[in-house]
Structure formats: structure tokens, C-alpha cells
């Protein structure tokens, strides 16, 4: 596989069995907690609450590492910029670069927010069947339908997008091999070098989209109104506990910010 | 150029587990060979083709080029020898990307470092070799061509790199009869040139019977049968057990034989079949 981000690892853990709505709401609350945390240290501690979830889900450290590896450079750049360009109390100076206490704090804060959010999203994707995820999203968005939010269509788009991620990845790998057989290297930063991959991929994606639209119409698909589900979603005790914990985390973090934050 | 596979095995890594695809494959392709690799879907044909083209590396065993152990393309400094092995993928028209047919065909040889008049000559020769006129078709967008023409443009893109061994994975799948015949003729013309070798991956038995000099039947990642087309197609029942159906002429001979007609079973061409039947009828 070229890219493993967002891969679903089927399993039977308690996290896998949570209702997709709980996991989506949990991610939202976790995000709120992360954003509310006022200091780098607080955000790191807040973020670390994902660890028991990872352990319960039985995700291997190697898998987590592969998910986050592409992000490392990006995170380091964020961190270095924050550390180097935030004015404040100078702790150390290396040439013209001043490392400040505030810089370290903001650097850690930004790092922790992005790192843990991506980690949590990866855990969500790894433990939730993409179709269940789209179902859950549709149910969560349904109240918005009164306001004109096309929840069914959005969920369908998401389902289709998720459904075709592995297909397109496979296709990308195939086309890449074919171009490598023609001596392509895909090295260098110029966008031009990617054309032999990108254009065939687009052409086939459009062709697939057309075929899919026709296949759906042929089976009388006419949009989301009044559709029934094959899998009904049910909250269970574990879902309430999970949401309670996530809610406490968000509330605690917000309280900490109001009380001690700047 | 000689491609050798010695005790080659290959397994895909899926979620930490090994999924064996090929086991203990030994084969050799030398100049002048026309090897067909056939087998039911999922028997490992395409994976074997990619191993032979250096696009995958075996998980065990080794691949040699002219007797020298070779790593995969792009690994180490090993690109140069692989340049002499051309690979046409399944539905190669899906890899077309350039604005004009000529540009697309030029992509491969340009990656080999060619330019100017030599590059142009290669492109023209390759387009002619696949039966397309460089003057009229060269400047058009590949996406305006018919499916069969697109496929031939894609094959021209490989021929323009002037490989010594041409590996084709289901080159005629999904084409109409005319397109199929044109592609078969391109393959024939390539094979007729001195020092060239062809590896054809196909589950079309009629095509294999018509073209190949040697046939390998894969079954669940292992070589189940190996021999000349006559040897292979004589074994109708064995073929069926490997999920293949003998070519129509061979099947016809088997039916006739079952009816008591003393016809040979190893018939490959229409002319042979006609002669055999006429001989039996005593005409």
C-alpha cells in the first residue's frame, strides 16, 4: 500500500463495537478538549487520554506509527516556527534565533493539537467500518435537514468517497507501476513529474463515477427520502460511558481554560 | 537478454499477514522464445509478469538478467538492464496521459535519455509498428481515439523503448475482434525480429495456441503444466481441472475422438484441423 492513513482494521474490540455516532461525537468532544486546553502541557495531557482507547482497540504500535509517519516533518516545521518566532521571555539564543518560554509553550500546544487530532481521527477510521461511519454521520446530521442540510446526500457522498479510496489507491499503484515500466521515476518536486500518474487517475475516476451513477439509476436510486437502513444504529451502555467520559474531558478542559488559562 | 527465475516465491503483505501468491517458480526466457503463461483468475499470472519485468521483487528465490542477479527496477543502480525488458500492462490505454499521441509514445524513450531527431524517429517507428500513421494520429489527443487505437498507442509507448523482451499482460482483453487481430499482428511482427523474445500472459486459449512456442499453466501459484502448446492442449481434462478450457479446435477434436473418429488431439490451427477431419472422412 502506498498510503495507509485512514485504513480500517476490522476487529472485535469494545472500541470497534461502539456505535459510530458515539465515536464521531467522541472525536468532536476530544477535539474541543484539545482546542480548549490553554497550555502545551495541558493539551498533551488531554491528548494522552487517547492512549487507553488505542489499547482497548488493540491497535498495534507499528500500525499507529505508519499512520503518523507522513505527518512528522509537517509537525516539526510547525513546532520549529512557533519556537523560533514567538516573542517573550528568552530562555536561550542560538545566533539570531531566540528560544522563548512562550515559544516553547505555543510550539508544544500546536504540535499536541495537530498530532493528537490526527491520531484520534486515525483511531476512529481504523476501528470503524467506513459504511457505518457514513451511516452515523447521516444520523447525526439529520436534525439539520429541516434547515435545508442535505444529510442523505452528504452521507452518500462520504460513503462513496470512502468506498473508492482503496480502489483509487490500488489504481494509483497500478498506474504508477505502468509508468515506472516506462522509465518514470516520480522523483523531483515538479508537478510535471506527477502528470503521468495524476491524469490517468482522473480519467479513470471520472469514468468510474459515470458508471456508478448509471448503475445506481438502473437500480432506481432516487435520493435519500424515505430510505430504510440495513443496519439500524443502537446506543448501548458502553456508548453512554464512552460519551460521558469524552464529555467530562471536554468540560474539564474548558473549565481549566476559563479558570487558569489566558 | 535472458530472464531467469530461480525458485522464486512471492507473497503479499496484507495487514501483517503473508498472502502467498507464487511458490517455487523456475523458468527462463531467452532470445527467440515465445512463452505463454496461462491459468485461471487468481493463479498468479500478473504477479509473475511483474516479477519478470522487475516491477516486484521476489520474497524468496532470485531473478537474473543474463545470468546476473537483478534487483527490482529503481532499487540500487539496477535500472539499466531492465530497460531492455518492456512490460505492457493490462488495459495499458489507462496509462495514457499526454496531450498528443506522439508525446505519450515519446515518454518512455525520453526517460531513457533520448531526445531530438533520434527520439522522433523512435516515436514514428513505434507508431508505424502498431499500424498507426504518425502523420495523422501523432498530433491528436490520445483520448479522442477508439479503445483499440488507444491500446495500440500504449503498446507503441513500450515498443519505442526498443525492448528485447516484451511482456504483455492480457494484451487483447476487452478489444473487438478487429482490434484483437491488430494487436496480435503487432506481437507477431515484434517476435519476428531477430533476438527478440515475448512473454504473453493470457487466459485466451485460442490465442495461446496460435502464438506461443512454450506454455506454462499456473494453478494456485505453482507451475501445474509446462510444455509446447501441443503437449499442453492434448491434456484437455487436466486443463479443465485447472480452471481452463482448451481452445475450440482442440475441444472439437476431443469430441470427434469420443465419437470414435481417429483424429489427433494436438491440433492447433484451422488448417491442421481441416486436414485431420478430411483425412478421417477419407476425402
DSSP per residue over chain B, as a string? --EEEEEEEEEEEETTEEEEEEEEEEEEE-TT-EEEEEESTTSSHHHHHHHHTTSS--SEEEEEETTEE---TTSTTTHHHHTTEEEEPSSGGGG--SSSHHHHHHHHHHHTT--HHHHHHHHHHHHHHTT--HHHHTTS-GGGS-HHHHHHHHHHHHHTT--SEEEEESTTTT--HHHHHHHHHHHHHHHHSTT-EEEEE---HHHHHHH-SEEEEEETTEEEEEE-HHHHHH-HHHHHHTT----HHHHHHHHHHHTT----S---SHHHHHHHHHHHHT-
Nearest Cα to B98, choosing from A48, A25, A40, A184?
A: A184
Q: Which segment of A48-62, A92-106, A218-232, A240-254 scores lowest on mean pLDDT?
A: A218-232
CB contact under 8 A, B55 and A9: no
B162: closest chain A residue by CA: A182
Residues 68-107 of B with CB under 8 A from A: 73-74, 79, 83, 86-87, 89, 92, 94-98, 107
Output the pLDDT for position A2: 44
- Complete edge-to-edge strand list for the sheet that includes strand B3-14: B17-29, B3-14, B60-65, B68-69
Mean pLDDT of the residues in chain B: 91
Residue B74 with chain A: CB contacts under 8 Å: 180, 185
Whole-angstrom distance, CA of residue A125 vs CA of residue B191: 50
Name B227's bridge partners: B215
Output the pLDDT for position A190: 72
CB contact under 8 A, B161 and A204: no
Q: Which helix (H) or strand (E) holds A30?
A: helix A20-36
Q: What is the rounded average pLDDT of the residues B45-53?
A: 94
State the nearest Cα–Cα gap between B267 and chain A, in angstroms. 36
Output the pLDDT for position A100: 84
Q: Please give the CATH topology (third level) of the domain spanning B1-84+164-228+237-244.
A: Rossmann fold (3.40.50)
B117 CB contacts (<8 Å, ≥6 apart)? none
| A75 has pLDDT over 60 | yes
Q: Which helix (H) or strand (E) holds A233?
A: none
State the nearest Cα–Cα gap between B6 and chain A, in angstroms. 22
Return the number of CB contacts < 8 Å for A and B: 58
Residue A195 exposure: Cα atoms within 13 Å on the Cβ side:
11
Coil, strand or helix: which one is A92?
strand
Residue A195 with chain B: CB contacts under 8 Å: 97-98
**B interface test, pick of A182, A194, A204, A205 with most B CB neighbours within 10 Å:** A182
Output the pLDDT for position A1: 40
> What single-letter DSSP state applies at residue A1?
-
Closest CB to B158 among A182, A199, A203? A182
pTM value surpassing 0.80: no
CB contact under 8 A, B87 and A181: yes
Whole-angstrom distance, CA of residue B262 vs CA of residue A252: 91
Report residue B58: phi and psi, to 5°.
-65, 150
Whole-angstrom distance, CA of residue B123 vs CA of residue B153: 10
Nearest Cα to B123, choosing from B134, B137, B135?
A: B134
> What single-letter DSSP state applies at residue A175?
H
Query: At A8, is the pLDDT very low, low, confident or very high (cuts 50, 70, 90)?
Result: confident
Closest CB to A182 among B74, B79, B157? B157
Asked if B44 reaches chain A (Cβ–Cβ under 8 Å), the answer is: no
Q: How many CB atoms lie within 10 A of CB B51?
A: 24
Nearest Cα to B3, choosing from B51, B44, B52, B48?
A: B52
Nearest Cα to B94, choosing from A57, A6, A206, A216?
A: A206
Output the pLDDT for position B15: 62
Closest CB to B94 among A60, A198, A204? A204
CB contact under 8 A, B94 and A203: yes
Nearest Cα to A122, choosing from A4, A10, A205?
A: A4
- Contact of B21 with B7, CB cutoff 8 Å: no
Q: Would you give the distance in Å from CA A231 to the centre of its chain?
A: 24
Whole-angstrom distance, CA of residue B183 vs CA of residue B97: 21
Q: pLDDT of B221-249, one tens digit each?
A: 999 999 999 889 888 788 889 988 888 88
The larger pLDDT score, comparing residue B13 to residue A106, is at A106
State the nearest Cα–Cα gap between B146 and chain A, in angstroms. 15
Residue A60 with chain B: CB contacts under 8 Å: 16
B86: closest chain A residue by CA: A181
Q: pLDDT of B180-231, one tens digit each?
A: 999 999 999 999 999 999 999 998 888 998 899 999 999 999 999 999 998 8
Mean pLDDT of the residues in chain A: 86
Q: pLDDT of B101-156, one tens digit each?
A: 999 999 999 998 888 999 999 999 999 999 999 999 999 999 999 999 999 999 99
Q: pLDDT of A118-147, one tens digit each?
A: 999 999 999 998 888 888 888 888 888 888
Residues 98-157 of B with CB under 8 A from A: 98, 107-108, 111-112, 143, 157
Output the pLDDT for position A5: 63
Would you list the domain boundaries of chain A? Answer: 1-128+232-262
Residue B15 with chain A: CB contacts under 8 Å: 9
ipTM of the complex: 0.85
Distances in Å between the Cα of B24 and the Cα atoms of A249, B9, B14, B46, B130 are: 56, 5, 20, 16, 36
Would you list the domain boundaries of chain B? Answer: 1-84+164-228+237-244, 93-162, 247-283
Amino acid at each position: 500500500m502506498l498510503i495507509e492513513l485512514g485504513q480500517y482494521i476490522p476487529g472485535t474490540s469494545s472500541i470497534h463495537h461502539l456505535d459510530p455516532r458515539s465515536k464521531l461525537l467522541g472525536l468532536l468532544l476530544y477535539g474541543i478538549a484539545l482546542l480548549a486546553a490553554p497550555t502545551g502541557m495541558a493539551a498533551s495531557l488531554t491528548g494522552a487520554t487517547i492512549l487507553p482507547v488505542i489499547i482497548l482497540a488493540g491497535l498495534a504500535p507499528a500500525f499507529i506509527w505508519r499512520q503518523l509517519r507522513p505527518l512528522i516533518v509537517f509537525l516539526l516545521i510547525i513546532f520549529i516556527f512557533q519556537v523560533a518566532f514567538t516573542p517573550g521571555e528568552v530562555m536561550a539564543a542560538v545566533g539570531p534565533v531566540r528560544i522563548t518560554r512562550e515559544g516553547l509553550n505555543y510550539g508544544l500546544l500546536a504540535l499536541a493539537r495537530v498530532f493528537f487530532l490526527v491520531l484520534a481521527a486515525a483511531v476512529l477510521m481504523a476501528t470503524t467500518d467506513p459504511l457505518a461511519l457514513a451511516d452515523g454521520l447521516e444520523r447525526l446530521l439529520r436534525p439539520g435537514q429541516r434547515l435545508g442540510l442535505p444529510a442523505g446526500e452528504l452521507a452518500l457522498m462520504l460513503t462513496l468517497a470512502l468506498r473508492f479510496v482503496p480502489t483509487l489507491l490500488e489504481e494509483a499503484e497500478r498506474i504508477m507501476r505502468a509508468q515506472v515500466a516506462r522509465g518514470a521515476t516520480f522523483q523531483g518536486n515538479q508537478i510535471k513529474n506527477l502528470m503521468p500518474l495524476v491524469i490517468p487517475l482522473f480519467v479513470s475516476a471520472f469514468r468510474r463515477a459515470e458508471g456508478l451513477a448509471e448503475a445506481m439509476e438502473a437500480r432506481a436510486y432516487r435520493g435519500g427520502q424515505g430510505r430504510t437502513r440495513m443496519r439500524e444504529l443502537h446506543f448501548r451502555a458502553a456508548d453512554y460511558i464512552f460519551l460521558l467520559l469524552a464529555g467530562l474531558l471536554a468540560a474539564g478542559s474548558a473549565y481549566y481554560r476559563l479558570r487558569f488559562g489566558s | 537478454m535472458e530472464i531467469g527465475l530461480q525458485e522464486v516465491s512471492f507473497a503479499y503483505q496484507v495487514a501483517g499477514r503473508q498472502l502467498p501468491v507464487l511458490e517455487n517458480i523456475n523458468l527462463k526466457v531467452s532470445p527467440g522464445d515465445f512463452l505463454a503463461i496461462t491459468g485461471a483468475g487468481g493463479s498468479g499470472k500478473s504477479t509473475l509478469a511483474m516479477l519478470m519485468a522487475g516491477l516486484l521483487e521476489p520474497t524468496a528465490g532470485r531473478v537474473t538478467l543474463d545470468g546476473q542477479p537483478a534487483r527490482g527496477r529503481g532499487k540500487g543502480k539496477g535500472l539499466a538492464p531492465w530497460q531492455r525488458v518492456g512490460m505492457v500492462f493490462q488495459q495499458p490505454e489507462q496509462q495514457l496521459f499526454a496531450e498528443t499521441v506522439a508525446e505519450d509514445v515519446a515518454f518512455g524513450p525520453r526517460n531513457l535519455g533520448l531526445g531530438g531527431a533520434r527520439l522522433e524517429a523512435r516515436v514514428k517507428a513505434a507508431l508505424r509498428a502498431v499500424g498507426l500513421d504518425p502523420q495523422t494520429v501523432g498530433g491528436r489527443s490520445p483520448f479522442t481515439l477508439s479503445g483499440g487505437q488507444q491500446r495500440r498507442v500504449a503498446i507503441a509507448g513500450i515498443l519505442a523503448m526498443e525492448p528485447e523482451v516484451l511482456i504483455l499482460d492480457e494484451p487483447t482483453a476487452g478489444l473487438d475482434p478487429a482490434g484483437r487481430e491488430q494487436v496480435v499482428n503487432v506481437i507477431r511482427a515484434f517476435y519476428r525480429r531477430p533476438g527478440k523474445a515475448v512473454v504473453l500472459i493470457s487466459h485466451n486459449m485460442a490465442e495461446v495456441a496460435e502464438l506461443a512456442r512454450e506454455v506454462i499453466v499456473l494453478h494456485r501459484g505453482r507451475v501445474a503444466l509446462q510444455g509446447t502448446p501441443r503437449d499442453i492442449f492434448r491434456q484437455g481434462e487436466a486443463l479443465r481441472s485447472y480452471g481452463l478450457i482448451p481452445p475450440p479446435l482442440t475441444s472439437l477434436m476431443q469430441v470427434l475422438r469420443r465419437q470414435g473418429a481417429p483424429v489427433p488431439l494436438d491440433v492447433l490451427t484451422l488448417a491442421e484441423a481441416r486436414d485431420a477431419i478430411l483425412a478421417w472422412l477419407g476425402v
